[in-house]
Chain A
C-alpha cells in the first residue's frame, strides 16, 4: 500500500472513488463548486416558477400552496445549497494555495463536510413530493405557521441539522488551516484578503450555525413533544423564535457576503495593477462588521412589538454597520484611483458588485430605520433589498471569482467574448428583474403572495421578463464553464498580468498536492 501510495503521490487516483473518498482540497473544492452549480440551477428553477406565476395578477400556473413552497425552497436551496457551498468550494481551492499549504488541515473531515450535503438536500428536496408538500412557511420558519407543515416537517428540520453539521465542520477546518498551515513567513499581517475574510466568516459560522440548530430543535419539540417554547398558552412566546432565529440569521447573511468582499479585494487590485488600498483598514472593517452582526438581529423584527429601548438599540447598531461597509467601498474605489485599469470579465463582475451591492446597502439603511421600516416591513422593497445584496452582491462576486480563478483551476482560458456576453446580459436583466421590485414594495405590494392587486401588474411583468432573461443568461455561464473544463487555450501560471500572490506562482492547473515544500515568502 505504502509503495502504491508513494508511486501515485503526485497524481490523483483513478476511478470514481477518487471523488467519494478524496482527501484532496482541490477535489473537494471542485465537488463543492459543482454541487453549488447544480443547486443554483435547482433554486433558480424555483425562482422561474415564482416569476412566471407573478407575470400577471391572478392564479395561472400553480396554486397558492405550491407557490409558497417555491418561495420557501428557493431561499433554503440558494442559501444552504448554492451560495454557502460555493464559498466553501472557493475556500477549499484557494486558501491552501494562497497560504502555501499542501492541503487543508483536516482533509478527512473536509471530505465529510462535503458528503453530508448531498444527503441533506436529498432529505430537503424529497419533501416536495410528499403528501402535503414541502415547507411553505418561508425560509425563516416562524411558528406557529411552520408548525402547520405536514409530513415534510421533520425532514426539513433534520436536513437543516445536517447542513449545520456540514457548515460547522467546514468552518472549523478553515480556521484550523489558516491558523496552523501557513507557510513560514506568511504572517497574519500578510494574509491575502480572501483568507482573512474567510477566517472571520468561519468564526461566524461556528458561532451562528449551532444557534440555528437549537432554534429548529425547539420547533421540533414544540410540534412533537409538547414543549411550549413558542406557545404563549404555556408561558412561551412565538416571537422568541424570531429572536433565536435572527441571532443566527443576521450573522448568516454576513457569512454570505464577507467572502465576496474577499474575492472583490483580489480582483480589483489585479485589474487596476495596484496593490489594494488600505489593507489593514479592510481587515478591521470586516472584523467590525462581523462583531456588529451579532448585535443587530432584531432589525428583522421591528414590527413585532418590541419595547422602545429595543427598537432604538437595534436601529442604531444597524446603522453603525454603514461605517465599516463604507470604508470597504472607499478602499476599492481608491484602489482603482489612477490605476492602469483593464476590463476583463472578472473585473466587470467585481465593478458591478461594488455599485450594485452599494445600492443594496443603501436600501438596507432605509430598512434599518425603525419608523421607516414600519412601512417597508414584509413588502417587495425587502425582497429587492436582499436580492441586490445576495444576487448582485454574493452571486456576482462568486461568478466573478469563478472567471478569475477558472484558468488557474483548469489550465485553460475561458472564452472572453462569451464571458462578456454573459456579464452584459446578466447586468441588464438583473436590474430589470430587481429594480422595479423597489417600486412595487414602496407602493405596498406584500412579499410571499402568489396573487396581487392590478395596480402592481406592470412592474411585475417587467420584473418577470428580467427574471427570465437573467435565468437564461446563466445557461451561458454553465456552457462557458463546461467548455473551459474540457479544453481551451493553455493558461500561464500567472494567468493575469497584474495578479500577485502565492497562488499564481504555481502552474495552471496546480499540482495535485499544492505545496509539498513550504514556499519561500518574499
Chain B
C-alpha cells in the first residue's frame, strides 16, 4: 500500500507476478509435452503460455513505467533496482560459466583422456584405441550415432566481423548514454538507433554463420562435443543478444517519447549494462570457441 512515499515506496498488491507464474508454468508444461511427442497439447500450452508471459511483461513493465513517470520512485527505489539488475546479470554470468566450464573440461580433460593423455592410458586402450585426441574434435571416438562434421569454425571472417560489430555497438550505446546525460535528445535517439541496428546486424550475420555451419560444414548439435559446445554457447549468447536488442528497441521508443531525463533514466542504464554483459560474453566466446 502506498504511504509516505517521501520515505518508503511499497507497491500495492499486484496480479502480474501470479500471471507471470501461470505463463511460465504453461510454457514449461507445453515444452515438456512437446518433448514427449504430444504436439497438439504441447503446442497450445506453449503458445498460450508465451502469450500470457508476454502480456505479463507488458503489464508489469507498463505499471513500473507509469509509476516511474508519476515520480513515485525515490532514490532508494532507484538503488534497489540497481542492486537487483546487477545481481541478475551476475546470475547470468554464472549460467554461462556452466557452459564455459563444460567447454574447458572437454578440451583439457575429457578429450585428451579419451586419447590416452594424463593417467588415462587404459581408458584409451579399452574404449577406442584408434581414437586420436584433437581440438576442434571432428573425428569422434565412436562416430556411429553422430553427424560427422567436415570442418571446424574459423575465427577469421564472420566471427571477427561480428566481434567488431558488437564492440562498436558497445561504443554507440555509451555515446547514447553521454548524450542522455548531457540532455542531447537527438543524439541519444541516434546512438540508440545505431546500437539496435548493430545488434540486429549481429543476429543476421550469426544466423548466416549458423546456416553455413549447418549446411556446408555439416556441423550439428549432434556432431559430438565440439558441435555441442559450439551451438550451446553461441546459441544461448545469440538468444541473449536477441533479448538485449528487443530491450534496446523498447528503450529507443521510450527515448523518442521523451521518457528519460539526465537525472532519471535507470531503465536505460539497466539495458546498457545488459548489453555490455552480452558483449563481454561474446569476447569470451570469440577467444575460446573460435580463436583458440
Contact = CB atoms under 8 A, between A and B. Distances in A.
Nearest to B118: A307
Interface stretch (B96-104, B183-191, B209-217): B96-104
B235 to A, nearest CB: 10
Contact of A235 (B98, B137, B144): B137
A420 interface: no
A236 B106 contact: yes
Contacts of A157: 32
A235 B12 CA distance: 54
A108 B21 CA distance: 12
B3 A6 contact: yes
Interface stretch (B87-95, B154-162, B245-253): B87-95
B19 to A, nearest CB: 10
Contacts of A312: none
Interface stretch (B198-206, B224-232, B262-270): B224-232
B222 A225 contact: yes
B88 A172 contact: yes
A151 interface: yes
A232 B124 CA distance: 11
A213 B35 CA distance: 18
- Scoring B12, B119, B144, B232 by chain A CB atoms within 10 A of each residue's CB, the highest score goes to B12
B97 A211 contact: yes
Contact of A23 (B4, B11, B106, B144): B11
A256 interface: no
Contacts of A399: none
A279 interface: no
A143 to B, nearest CB: 13
Given A235-B106, A237-B105, A155 B32 contact: yes
B8 A244 contact: no
Contacts of B225: 228-229, 234-236
B65 to A, nearest CB: 14
A340 interface: no
A80 to B, nearest CB: 15
A440 interface: no
Interface stretch (A45-53, A498-506, A513-521): A513-521
Interface in A149-176: 151, 153-155, 157-159, 161-162, 165, 168, 171-173, 175-176
A5 B10 CA distance: 12
Interface string B1-25: 1111001101111111110111011
A9 interface: yes
B152 interface: no
Contacts of B90: 206-207
Given A154-B36, A181-B76, A513 B106 contact: no
Interface in A198-237: 206-211, 213-215, 217-218, 220-221, 224-229, 232-237
Nearest to B10: A103
A520 to B, nearest CB: 14
Contact of B228 (A109, A112, A236): A236
Contacts of B16: 108, 112
Interface string A87-120: 0000000000000011101111101100110010
B98 A214 contact: yes
Interface residues of A, number: 82
Interface stretch (B108-116, B165-173, B174-182, B279-287): B108-116
Nearest to B93: A210
B21 A112 contact: yes
B39 interface: no
Q: Looking at B17, B147, B229, which has the most chain A CB atoms within 10 Å of its CB?
A: B17
Contacts of B1: 5-6, 8-9, 513
A300 to B, nearest CB: 16
A503 to B, nearest CB: 18
Contacts of A478: none
Contacts of A247: 98, 101
Contacts, number: 238
Interface stretch (A14-22, A376-384, A489-497): A14-22
A111 B15 CA distance: 9
A483 to B, nearest CB: 29
Given A109-B84, A236-B110, A516 B141 contact: no
Interface string B134-146: 0001001110111
A412 to B, nearest CB: 25
B17 A111 contact: yes
Contacts of A108: 11, 14, 16-17, 60
A116 B24 contact: yes
B41 interface: no
B29 interface: yes
A158 B28 contact: yes
A237 B35 CA distance: 24
Given A214-B95, A235-B114, A307 B87 contact: no
A243 interface: yes
A182 to B, nearest CB: 11
Contacts of A237: 105-106, 109-110, 113
A102 B10 contact: yes
Contact of A105 (B83, B98, B137): B83
A50 to B, nearest CB: 27
A233 B76 contact: no
A428 interface: no
Contact of A5 (B2, B94, B105): B2
A235 B232 contact: no
A13 B14 CA distance: 12
A171 B90 CA distance: 12
B284 to A, nearest CB: 15
Contacts of B127: 232
A132 to B, nearest CB: 10
A119 B24 contact: yes
Contact of A234 (B97, B98, B224): B224
B107 to A, nearest CB: 10
A96 to B, nearest CB: 10
Contacts of A173: 84
A313 interface: no
Given A105-B80, A175-B87, A240 B106 contact: yes
A122 interface: yes
A325 to B, nearest CB: 25
A229 B8 CA distance: 49
B31 interface: yes
B140 A235 contact: yes
A112 B11 CA distance: 14
A179 interface: yes
Contact of B14 (A23, A208, A217): A23
Nearest to B225: A235
B28, B137, B146 — which one has the most chain A CB atoms within 10 A of its CB?
A: B28
4 smallest CB-CB distances across A and B, nearest first, come from A214-B98, A226-B222, A112-B17, A235-B225
10 contacts: A5-B2, A6-B2, A20-B18, A23-B13, A158-B32, A228-B146, A229-B102, A232-B110, A233-B145, A235-B114
Given A123-B32, A176-B83, 8 more contacts: A22-B13, A155-B29, A214-B95, A214-B102, A220-B35, A233-B140, A516-B7, A518-B7
Interface of A: 2, 5-6, 8-9, 13, 17-18, 20-24, 101-103, 105-109, 111-112, 115-116, 119, 122-123, 151, 153-155, 157-159, 161-162, 165, 168, 171-173, 175-176, 179-181, 206-211, 213-215, 217-218, 220-221, 224-229, 232-237, 240, 243-244, 247, 307-308, 513, 516-518
